Copies of this chain bind each other. A is one copy, B any other.
Amino acid sequence: MNRLLLIGLLLLTHLTFADDGYRLWLKYDRLTDATVRSGYARSAQFIAVSGSSPVLKSATNELQLGLQGLLGTTVPTLPSAGTRQGGIVLTVGVSGADANELNEEGYRIVKRQGNILVMGKTDVGVLYGTFALLRQLQTGQSVDAINLVSSPKVKLRMLNHWDNPNGTIERGYAGGSLWKWSELPETIDPRYKDYARANASLGINGTVVNNVNASARMLTGEYLQKVAALAGVMRPYGIKVYLSVYFAAPKTLGGLKTSDPLDPEVRKWWTDKTAEIHRYIPDFGGFLVKANSEGEPGPQDYGRTHVDGANMLAAAMKPFPGVVIWRAFVYKADPTGDRFKAAYEEFTPFDGQFDPKVIVQVKNGPIDFQPREPFSPLFGAMPKTPLGIEFQLTQEYLGFATHLVYEAPVFKECLESDTYAAGKGSTVARVIDGSLHGYSQTLMAGVANTGSDRNWTGNPLAQANWYAFGRIAWDHTLTSAAIADEWVNMTLTRQPQAVSHVRAMLLRSRDIYVDYNAPIGLSRPWTGVHFAPEPWQNKSPRPDWTAVYYHRADSVGLGFDRTATGSNALAQYRPEVRRQWENVDNCPLPYLLWFHHVPWTKQLSTGRTLWDELCTRFYTSADSVRWLQQEWTLAKPALDPVLYTDVAGRLATQHREAIWWRDAWVLYLQEFAKKPVPKPFKQPEQTLDDVKKSVDIYLLR
């Protein structure tokens, strides 16, 4: 037997030689501490579950899988606990205080009568509770006197996939599309289910499967069959499927002469199409619409408004529970305007005019997912219109799959910003969760960072951003640090020293990135080479697609004057907010160049001039990537070696590219500032022309 065991273990070693990241945070590796393990085992001798809905089945299966992995034992399931003790009981239906305290998707986990009860008003509440219980075990918490209660603060917690039918992903850095359109509906990739499990473990309950720059083909019967197949996989995990729609579909698909939202034939087309979708997907989640934005068609093509467009779709959706999510990401090509102000100007006049089924989805900042933005002035400015928030998980402006940026602080920073819409404490979070204005529909969306790469997110550490988004969408009061702790413990290691090194990396990573990429309130939403430094870029089909439009470097200084002497975008904020930012002398540095054109020689609160402060940030942050590398090395003994090597490689790329960004900015801005790089930093070894040449490579086919 000994020998057979050896063979088994050798085989095991061979087959599992590397952690390929596929399992995400749902790893369920056997707990190494035998005491902990046997403690849990005493509380998990059986699983009792009454009822057999597909969602309950998912919960039961997950619990069995998790317990088998963590404890190494197969736990039997029973239809009821009877008088048994020492098991886990999954129960739909609550009583007493829970009836008031829990919402439809909430759960309570409590030790009662010798068993661990996982309760919810609905089966999906039980599913979420099951994942929460597993998380307790994965992170080594005691369950002897467990008593956890939690309900999601936001109703629609969803991922937006910018996946195209041709298999590519717009702004995707983790391989091709998750969805194998040409193989659907017949071939169901096992990853679809694992995707659903991962989302359900966080409480994500919606997925928009296609790009907001939408293909009309998604609305054909051919593709609806494919989408229905995906919906079939998602349903047992409480996840609804949504579609991005191409507003001109009545013309391109329906053969109509117009897509005018007030045209009766167009309205009928959408009504019929919406009904057809529901024949394929009875629990269809709804539509997501990018209209009259960056060249996409929309109601304005026919002299109509966003309200006309959105309400038409809402009317089509009327017989069904689904919603219409209308994006506020719009901006006109106006050389004299300020793109910052566009969404507010276009949308606030419509407050109160949207159908109750409509949610307006607003990006966290006024521009476009920049490394650091002030919160969008729309939040708090439309009390009669449910506003959802859109974050971007995929690192379009945050270093692709090579730079480490843990995004929980990005999300938190925005959500904790105070809009003062109803006095102090009117945070963006309270706008989004509906508590401030009493929105009935609430929404938090994240543009997914998933792709077909085995480890889902390209950079293994970017899994933390998917995780953090899901957790914050459920409960925005969780701290970035607490979420990091959970994720590292579940995903990478439970060795305390190593956890502490990786946690430190995650928590500092975003500030490091900002400081070499877009410090003190710079932004960089330029086209051209999208991922490379190109501050000199000044040619484009639109003025607001150049770099110089944003940074406004000149011989005097740097930054975009958005005070009353400039574009006065600040006027879109409440006076209390405006006052924080409008004075160049006390505007917090993270926002300084967002709102002010600051002279190079201006002394900042740090005691340095603008130029010296910029240089200090560029140089110290590029050096800080070395610190990230050191921390990672310190954690190495507790990490899977293949995963360690993978991330170490990415950090090396990050260091090389951080210097690239630093040199590009320093050399370019130096031409305006006409000052030397302050000591102890050294003038870059390369010239601006060198950097330009290295960037131009990426303009080649």
Contacts and interface: CB of A to CB of B under 8 A. Distances in A.
A177 to B, nearest CB: 9
Contacts of A649: 183, 186-188
A69 B11 CA distance: 7
Interface string A24-53: 000010100000000000000000000000
Interface string A3-15: 0110111111011
A182 B532 CA distance: 11
A187 B646 contact: yes
A252 B180 CA distance: 37
Interface residues of A, number: 66
Given A5-B8, A72-B11, A697 B186 contact: no
A694 interface: yes
A550 to B, nearest CB: 24
Contact of A402 (B16, B183, B653): B183
Contacts of A531: 182
Contacts of A697: 217, 220, 222-223
Given A14-B68, A216-B700, A173 B182 contact: yes
Nearest to A452: B175
A9 B10 CA distance: 11
Contacts of A653: 182-183, 186-187
A578 interface: no
A242 interface: no
A253 B656 CA distance: 22
Contact of A12 (B1, B11, B183): B11
Nearest to A459: B183
Interface in A46-102: 65, 68-69, 72-74
Contacts of A402: 182-183, 187
Contacts of A412: none
Given A11-B72, A182-B400, A183-B650, 20 more contacts: A4-B5, A5-B5, A10-B68, A11-B12, A14-B28, A14-B65, A14-B68, A14-B69, A15-B15, A15-B16, A173-B182, A182-B653, A183-B649, A186-B653, A187-B402, A190-B642, A216-B700, A246-B701, A252-B700, A253-B700
Interface string A432-473: 000000000000000000011110001000000000000000
Given A175-B175, A400-B182, A652-B186, A5 B1 contact: yes
A113 interface: no
A621 B205 CA distance: 44
A452 B176 contact: yes
Interface of A: 1-2, 4-5, 7-12, 14-16, 18, 28, 30, 65, 68-69, 72-74, 167-168, 173, 175-176, 180, 182-183, 186-190, 215-217, 220, 222-223, 246, 252-253, 400-402, 451-454, 458, 531, 642, 645-646, 649-650, 652-653, 656, 694, 697-698, 700-701
Contacts of A216: 700-701
A625 to B, nearest CB: 12
A74 B175 contact: no
A150 to B, nearest CB: 28
10 contacts: A4-B5, A11-B72, A12-B15, A16-B16, A175-B452, A176-B451, A188-B649, A215-B701, A217-B697, A452-B453
Given A452-B176, A642-B190, A401 B182 contact: yes
Contacts of A168: 168
A555 to B, nearest CB: 31
Given A173-B182, A656-B186, A72 B452 contact: no
Contacts of A73: 7, 10
Nearest to A13: B68
B698 A217 contact: yes
Contacts of A451: 176
A15 B222 CA distance: 36
A147 B675 CA distance: 77
Nearest to A173: B182
A168 B180 CA distance: 15
A168 to B, nearest CB: 6
Interface pairs A-B: 3 shortest CB-CB: A187-B649, A186-B652, A186-B649
A134 to B, nearest CB: 15
A173 B452 CA distance: 12
Contacts of A69: 11, 14
Contacts of A9: 8
Contacts of A656: 186
Contacts of A452: 175-176, 452-453
Nearest to A164: B701
A457 to B, nearest CB: 13
Contacts of A30: 7, 11
Nearest to A252: B700
Contacts of A217: 697-698, 700-701
A168 B466 CA distance: 24
A650 B18 CA distance: 30
A176 B176 contact: yes
Contact of A1 (B1, B10, B183): B1
A663 to B, nearest CB: 15
A175 B108 CA distance: 42
A160 to B, nearest CB: 18
A4 B34 CA distance: 13
Contacts of A652: 186-187
Given A186-B649, A190-B18, A646-B187, A222 B68 contact: no
Contacts of A180: 401, 458
Contact of A650 (B173, B187, B645, B650): B187
Q: Please indicate which of the listed interface residues A9, A14, A182 has the most CB atoms of chain B within 10 Å of its own CB.
A: A182
Nearest to A9: B8
A215 B642 CA distance: 31
Given A175-B176, A642-B190, A653-B183, A700 B8 contact: no
A183 B65 contact: no
A190 B646 CA distance: 9
Nearest to A651: B186
A217 to B, nearest CB: 5
Nearest to A646: B187
A453 B179 CA distance: 12
Contact of A454 (B65, B173, B400, B454): B454
Nearest to A18: B190
A161 to B, nearest CB: 15
Given A2-B1, A220-B697, A453-B452, A12 B12 contact: yes
